Amino acid sequence: MIVINVKIFEGDFMTKWDKMLIALILVLSIGALVFISAMAMNYDNSYVKISIDGELYKKYSLDGTLDKKITIDTDKGTNVIHIEKGFVYMEESSCPDKTCIKQGSIDRPGEIIVCLPNKVTVEITGETESGPDAVSH
Amino acid sequence: MNTREYIFLALLTTGALVLTILEGMIPLPFIAPGARLGLANMVVLSVIVVFGFKKGLTVAVLKSILVLLVAGNPIGFIYSISGAILSTIVMHLSYKYLNGYLSLIGVSVLGALSHNTAQVVVAAAVLENIKILIYLPVMYIVSLFTGCFVGYAGIFIVRNLKKQISIGW
């Protein structure tokens, strides 16, 4: 016979500290989300950056007219990235989980598609115009 | 540690494995990469509470290795094992030191948050791209819900497990 000392909580359900913890995380996360989307508004030009294994592979200017399929072949697998009408999405991937395809399309700076098994990342970055144009903007 | 306990922990580990496989079959809308229900966390949480930290960690690590063998996804294994180890440590510490403040729901929420953090940080390190951290806020919000659910279930599991052990051990 083993005596196991098990502590069971008096109330058993959520304590006020639980609720405070949950509220705190919720507020911080929503704040971070708002901050991220506010950051994405401040750009004039956006670019698509495709990186393999942390190194920049290709960079395209993202405007509504570009229609391009990029095939990436590495020793880890194959990915097909489609840029269309200002949106970018992963069209095909040889990875087992297909998370990158399920993620759908991205179009705003700060958004990112990751294919972990193939170590491919597709991110949209923004740049602010400088010079007289930016002022008159 | 006697044979009964070995067998019981082995059964719980198998339960965690089965829960992981089952949750993979549940179709969920895509929220963030790697966002899961974390049902197996119910098992790890109850083992930490009933059997202690070392056995909880063993169950969590064994479950990750078993999932690797079943699913055959070595990349996923790195993320799942780092998440499993960190969340087990955090759940143990918060159960030990914040007991009385946080119920199992709070402990499980902290576990879910740390699991996500470890996964995303390891992903950022592997891909050498810090921008992956942008997923964290969304994953945190999702893990609040899954963490509450897992903690709520954990309360009932611990209660019944304790009853079972006091009768049949």
Q: Residue A137 pLDDT > 70, yes or no?
A: no
Q: Which regions of B20-162 does DSSP assign to beta strands (E)?
A: none
pTM: 0.81
- The beta-strand segments (E) located in B51-128 are none
Comparing CB atoms, the residue among A99, A102, A123 nearest residue B131 is A123
Amino acid of residue B34: G
Residue A106 DSSP SS3: strand
Residue whose entry in the numeric block shows the structure tokens 């089952």: B22
Summarize pLDDT for A39-61 with one digit per residue, the tens. 777 777 788 888 888 788 888 88
User: Cα separation of B49 and B44, whole Å?
Assistant: 9
User: Minimal CA–CA distance to B139: which of B98, B89, B87, B88?
Assistant: B87
A79-122, pLDDT tens digit by residue? 888 888 888 888 888 887 777 888 888 888 878 888 888 888 88
On the question of pLDDT at A1 being above 60, the answer is no
Domain borders along chain A are: 14-43, 44-130
Q: Per-residue confidence of chain B (169 residues) as pLDDT tens digits?
A: 688 888 989 999 999 999 988 888 887 776 666 677 888 899 999 999 999 999 999 999 999 999 999 887 777 788 889 999 999 999 999 999 988 888 899 999 999 999 999 988 998 888 887 888 888 898 899 899 999 999 999 999 998 888 888 876 6
Of A2, A9, A25, the CB nearest to B144: A25
Name residues 17-76 of chain B within 8 A of A (Cβ): 30, 33-34, 49-51, 72-73, 75-76
A94 neighbourhood in chain B, CB within 8 Å: none
- Spell out the residues 6+ positions from residue B54 whose beta carbon is closer than 8 angstroms to its own: none
Look up the CATH number of the domain holding residue B120: 1.10.1760.20
Tokens 């049949």 belong to B168
Structural domain boundaries, residue B30: 3-168
pLDDT score recorded for residue A136 = 47
pLDDT of residue B150: 93
C-alpha to C-alpha distance for B42 and B67, rounded to whole angstroms: 16
Structure tokens at A6: 């098990």
Q: How far apart are CA A70 and CA A77, in angstroms?
A: 14
The CATH code of the domain at A44-130 is 2.60.320.10
Q: How many domains does chain B have?
A: 1
Q: Which of A1, A116, A122 to mutate to test the interface with B (most CBs of B within 10 A)?
A: A116
